[in-house]
Amino acid sequence: MLRDLPLSGVVVVELSDSASAPFSGKILAELGAEVWKVERPSGDSARGWGPSTWKGSGAAFHALNRGKRCISIDIKDREQLATLHRLIAERADVFIHNLRPGSSAKYGLDPDSLRVTKPELICCEVGAFGHEGPMNTLPGYDPLMQAFSGIMSITGEEGQPPVRAGVSIVDFGTGMWAVIGILAALHRRQTKHCGATVNGSLLETAIAWMSVGIANYSADGEPGGRHGSGVAFIVPHRAYPTADGDLIVSCANDVLFARLCEVLERPEWAKDDRFATNAGRLKNRREIDRLIGERLAQESRAYWQQRLQAHGIPVAPIQTTAEIVAHEQTRALGIIGKPSEDEIGLVGLPLSFDGKRPPPLHAARDIGADNDKIEDVLKARP
């Protein structure tokens, strides 16, 4: 087990709600930081998210807030706000919040105010539409950003209504970018001895996920379309039905495609001018997808998975949540764990250090569970 996690000794105060900022705090906690989760008295919105619950709170809340100390503070109450200011001033290396632009200054929680007394403090502000521009004060959630950024315009099946990704890729991505910014600021502080303001937002993250699509549009003016389980720039690179389930087959180059043709016992496809190159397959996407699909449908998913893997062709079955949790590869990685048998099993940090993954952290605590510990950790008044 790791004894010295990379962020051991770093203290983070996280005033946040919902998903993106809490996800960044969870990452920092799993890297070893001491994270103080600050909730309003009624609790984080995610505590009420369903459909699954664990010990009175939504399972989603535990996934986003494991390993943190949980305190309840009403920032509209002068005395409680003063306690939060003391906690930040006397203990925090990093302060994270996702208050609306302008709200932080109202409570003296903006970077300029906080760094008057603590110049080396790193403040991370996680927003919706960004900290600048005509929409910067608007609220926003993951689906809005998948829509606004164009992600949903290229997600789903051609001719069908747009759909969002099944997981909150914008929320989680924003949390990751926040952590990247915080880590960079911590690194700079070691030599420059200065604080930093890190700004991240859901919209900027969503636009970043559109990097390839925007590059393609810049090159040829084509906005792109929907390709279901496939992508715009590689064929084959999508799901095909087998006799008993769906299988993703990916041939990112012509050598792999020729090998696929051999396994499928259709070597002539690799010699056909329509399909020999990726450029040709893109132009004739419908036809080659139809041919591959018809061939794969003749045998089971397990049959094709075994044969394709044996020949080095990237392939994966489309699995359910139950299947990925139970899979031997997941178990071997040890990425889903719990610190004790009476805890909920949660996904851990998708990183290892010197071959060891940071150990599972406890599930999220009740609202205000650590309020009585605040005074214990604060330094005595000067």
pLDDT digits (tens, 9 = 90+) for 123-151: 999 999 999 999 999 989 999 999 999 99
Active site residue 77: no
Domains of the chain plus CATH, in order, are 11-209+332-377 (3.40.50.10540), 237-317 (3.30.1540.10)
pLDDT on residue 21: 96
pLDDT on residue 1: 40
Which is it for the CA torsion 141, 143, 147, 152, positive or negative? positive
8 A C-beta contact, residue 232 and residue 216? yes
pLDDT on residue 3: 58
Q: Which helix (H) or strand (E) covers residue 72, if one does?
A: strand 69-72
Q: What is the chain's pLDDT, residue by residue, as a tens digit (382 residues)?
A: 445 899 999 999 999 999 999 999 999 999 999 999 999 999 999 999 989 998 889 999 999 999 999 999 999 999 999 999 999 999 999 999 999 888 899 999 999 999 999 999 999 999 999 999 999 999 899 999 999 999 999 999 988 999 999 999 999 999 999 999 999 999 999 999 999 999 999 999 999 999 999 998 899 988 888 898 998 889 999 999 999 999 999 999 999 999 999 999 999 999 999 999 999 999 999 999 999 999 999 999 999 999 999 999 999 999 999 999 999 999 999 999 988 888 899 999 999 999 999 999 888 999 999 999 998 888 645 4
Buried b (16+ CB within 10 A) or exposed e, 47-80: bebeeebbeebbbbbbbbbbbbbbbbbebeeeeb
Nearest to 236 by CA among 176, 280, 299: 280
What is the C-alpha to C-alpha distance for residues 143 and 168, in angstroms, rounded to an integer?
Answer: 8
Classify burial at 187, counting beta carbons within 10 Å of its beta carbon; exposed 0-12, middle 13-18, buried 19 or more: exposed
250-256 contacts at long range (C-beta below 8 A, 24 or more positions apart): 250/313, 250/314, 250/315, 251/313, 251/314, 252/314, 253/278, 254/278, 256/312, 256/313, 256/314
Model pLDDT for residues 262-316, shown as the tens digit of each residue: 999 999 999 999 999 999 999 999 999 999 999 999 999 999 999 999 999 999 9
**SS3 label, residue 239:** strand
8 A C-beta contact, residue 224 and residue 164? no
8 A C-beta contact, residue 280 and residue 270? no
Q: Which two tokens stand for residue 69?
A: 């100390």
Residue whose pair of structure tokens reads 């049959």 in the numeric block: 303
pLDDT on residue 380: 47
Q: Which two tokens stand for residue 288?
A: 């080659």
What is the C-alpha to C-alpha distance for residues 102 and 266, in angstroms, rounded to an integer?
Answer: 63
Q: Which helix (H) or strand (E) covers residue 96, if one does?
A: strand 94-97
Total-model pTM: 0.90
Q: Which two tokens stand for residue 132?
A: 């600048």
List 171, 244, 254, 366, catalytic entry: 171
